[in-house]
């Protein structure tokens, strides 16, 4: 091999760095899905075949790694959510949105954690959570304006359903992985306008909901 045939050392370093990056993302995606967002970073590094220092060089914080590992699932979820708003039937759009939301939640424990909590120190996650809340409000408002969904449901009621569904997923994922769909459809019946009865207390305010999601994250 002549000198001109040799690859520069920095080319090899870039290739190695890219391979490390890709292996870390693959390992993180698998581990977060199985263990949740508190999954061991040391195990992720081992599964990727790199040192923990290499992980931190690529991803200085856990949130940096989470956001890149979740990116494909977030893109899938947001794309499907857009379809819900484009449906002619507002109630079917509401149902489609929630079923898609809980299907993604059921398939990934880390995404389940992500949906259930707020991370006020991360502008990127705050932006995504705000977008999800706006989507929930939009599909719900369409169904309410059409007279299909009861008028006293608020975004906080849907987030409460996300929380309860998350616990159900944790309990049933290995024994009855579709149990969440039965629970969702029971709740959808409760959300129908013709099923409405007076409720004893009002929904949480936006401020109460935000505080609850932050505290849920800090408690873990």
Residue % of the chain over a pLDDT of 90: 52
For residues 31-41, average pLDDT = 92
Q: What is the CATH number assigned to the segment(s) 71-218? A: 1.10.357
The label of the residue with tokens 């608020």 reads 154
Residues 152-198 have pLDDT tens digits of: 999 999 999 988 888 888 888 889 988 999 999 999 999 999 878 88
Q: What is the 3-state secondary structure (H, E, C) of 56-98?
A: HHHCCCHHHHHHHHHHHHHHHHHHHHHHHHHCCCHHHHHHHHH
Provide CATH 1.10.10.60 ranges for the chain.
Answer: 1-60
The Cα–Cα gap between 62 and 66 comes to 6
Q: What is the per-residue pLDDT for 79?
A: 86
Per-residue confidence (pLDDT) for residue 3, from 0 to 100: 42
- Quick one: pLDDT at residue 9? 53
CATH fold, domain 1-60, is Arc Repressor Mutant, subunit A (1.10.10)
- The residues of the chain that CATH labels 1.10.357 are 71-218
Q: What is the pTM of this model?
A: 0.82
Segment 10-21 mean pLDDT: 79
Q: CB–CB of 65/56 below 8 Å?
A: no
What are the φ/ψ torsions at residue 149 (nearest 5 degrees)? Answer: -105, 145
- What's the pLDDT at 4? 45
């Amino acid at each position: 091999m002549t000198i001109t045939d040799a690859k520069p050392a920095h080319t090899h370093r870039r290739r190695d760095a890219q391979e490390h990056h890709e292996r870390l993302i693959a390992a993180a995606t698998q581990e977060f899905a199985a263990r949740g967002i508190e999954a061991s970073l040391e195990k992720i590094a081992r599964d990727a075949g790199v040192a923990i220092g290499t992980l931190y060089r690529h991803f200085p914080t856990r949130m940096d790694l989470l956001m890149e590992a979740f990116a494909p699932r977030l893109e899938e979820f947001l794309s499907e959510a857009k379809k819900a708003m484009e449906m002619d039937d507002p109630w079917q759009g509401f149902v489609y949105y929630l079923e898609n939301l809980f299907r993604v939640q059921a398939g990934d424990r880390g995404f389940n954690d992500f949906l259930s909590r707020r991370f006020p120190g991360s502008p990127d996650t705050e932006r995504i959570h705000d977008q999800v809340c706006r989507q929930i409000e939009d599909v719900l408002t369409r169904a309410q304006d059409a007279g299909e969904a009861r008028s006293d449901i608020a975004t906080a009621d849907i987030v409460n359903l996300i929380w309860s569904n998350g616990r159900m997923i944790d309990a049933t994922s290995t024994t009855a992985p579709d149990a969440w769909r039965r629970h969702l459809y029971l709740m959808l019946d409760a959300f129908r306008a013709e099923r409405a009865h007076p409720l004893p207390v009002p929904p949480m305010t936006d401020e109460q909901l935000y505080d609850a999601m932050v505290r849920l994250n800090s408690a873990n």
